Amino acid sequence: MASELNLRTEREPTNQPGADEPPRTPRQGRSQSSHYLLLRWNDLPSWRQDNEYLLSGYRPSSGSFRKSLNSLQHIHNETVNIYSHLLGAALFATLSICVYVEIHNYYVVIQVGDVLVFAAFFLGMVLCFSFSGFFHILSNHCEEVAAFWNRLDYLGIVVLMWGSIVPSVYYGFYCDPNLQRLYWAVVSVLAVACAAAILAPRFQHPTFRPYRTSMMGLNYMLTMALLNLLVAAIYTTRIPERWYQLRYDIYGSSHQVFHFIVIFAGLTHMFGLLSAFGFIHSQAQSCT
């Protein structure tokens, strides 16, 4: 893998022909994929040193939106993070259309509330994964841009959780509108409070990682809750890279596992909502 990554190291002087030539940048190399310069953790500025257990595979700081976007065509330790959630955003955007078409085809009676709560769910999913994908793309731009998108990344998690709870409350208390409104009010206030805390710049310091994590019906809902707990544990403990240094720098790091579990949890929650929708709107089900 080291031959693919071209990790930056100090080189001894050499008398070989061409030794006095300036080093090629990735743009000047014959093959961009094979000559894309990657850095080690110790080479990074302090604002990029987030995970001390990932020692290699880092992109150079770009200072340019174009250069950060150009890194999409190379392999580095953000590649899986970027594509997993960009594709996740596209997946849930597509599923929102499919679900809307399907429920109209199979159910004669569908209320505005059904449409709104599913819209909240899919909006939360798409925004969360989109913010996450773009944060990982631009995390090497500069400190200010990275901090801004990092806040949006966490804000997306809040929106995702809010959008997941809103339909759960809707179907869980379908026959009790007063409790619906009460729980929605409480959840919305908590979401706004979390968003306000997340948007505070000092909240981005690695010291606050456990607190950021803590802010983030029935078989399906329980499964999603357990998956979210698993995600929190993986995210805060940095397993497996803390046990096997260099082995998981490019593929298989804790943050990548975290990304895929969040997608799977979202799909699980969606199936739970569809199951609740079908039960509520079945002919046998009534609030009387």
Number of domains in the chain: 1
Q: What percent of the chain has pLDDT over 90?
A: 53
Distances, alpha carbon 249 to alpha carbons 5, 16, 126, 286, in Å: 11, 33, 27, 54
- The band of 111, judged by pLDDT with boundaries at 50, 70 and 90, is confident
Classify residue 17: in a domain, yes or no.
Answer: no
Classify residue 16: in a domain, yes or no.
Answer: no
Please spell the DSSP secondary structure of 61-115, one letter per residue.
P-SSHHHHHHGGGS-STTHHHHHHHHHHHHHHHHHHHHHHHHHHHH-S---HHHH
- The band of 239, judged by pLDDT with boundaries at 50, 70 and 90, is confident
Nearest CA-CA partner of 134 in 148, 119, 144, 120: 148
What are the backbone angles phi and psi of residue 24, rounded to the nearest 5°? -75, 140
Classify residue 38: in a domain, yes or no.
Answer: no
Q: Which of 26-30, 122-126, 212-216, 240-244 has the lowest mean pLDDT?
A: 26-30
Nearest CA-CA partner of 38 in 8, 17, 67: 8
In the prediction, which pLDDT does 286 show?
66
Task: Provide Rg for the chain, Cα atoms.
Answer: 23
In the prediction, which pLDDT does 208 show?
63
Classify residue 115: in a domain, yes or no.
Answer: yes
Q: What is the pTM of this model?
A: 0.77
Look at 281 and 106; give whichever has higher pLDDT: 281
Q: Which of 150-154, 193-197, 224-228 has the lowest mean pLDDT?
A: 224-228
CA–CA gap between residue 170 and residue 277 (Å, rounded): 10
Classify residue 91: in a domain, yes or no.
Answer: yes
CB atoms within 10 A of CB 106: 10
CA–CA gap between residue 168 and residue 157 (Å, rounded): 17
Q: Tens digits of per-residue pLDDT, 169-204?
A: 999 999 899 999 999 999 999 999 889 888 876 665
Classify residue 285: in a domain, yes or no.
Answer: no
Classify residue 182: in a domain, yes or no.
Answer: yes
Asked whether residue 59 carries a pLDDT value surpassing 90, the answer given is yes
Classify residue 255: in a domain, yes or no.
Answer: yes
- The band of 209, judged by pLDDT with boundaries at 50, 70 and 90, is low
Look at 150 and 201; give whichever has higher pLDDT: 150
Q: Read off the CATH number of the domain in which 106 is found.
A: 1.20.1070
Contact 103, 110 (CB under 8 A): yes
Task: Count Cα neighbours of 95 within 13 Å in the Cβ-side half-sphere.
Answer: 21
**How confident is the prediction for the chain on average, in pLDDT?**
81
- The band of 241, judged by pLDDT with boundaries at 50, 70 and 90, is confident
In the prediction, which pLDDT does 30 show?
35
Residue with tokens 């030794």: 19
In the prediction, which pLDDT does 207 show?
60
Task: Count Cα neighbours of 271 within 13 Å in the Cβ-side half-sphere.
Answer: 10
CA 5 to chain centre: 24
Query: Which residues span the domain enclosing 144?
Result: 73-280
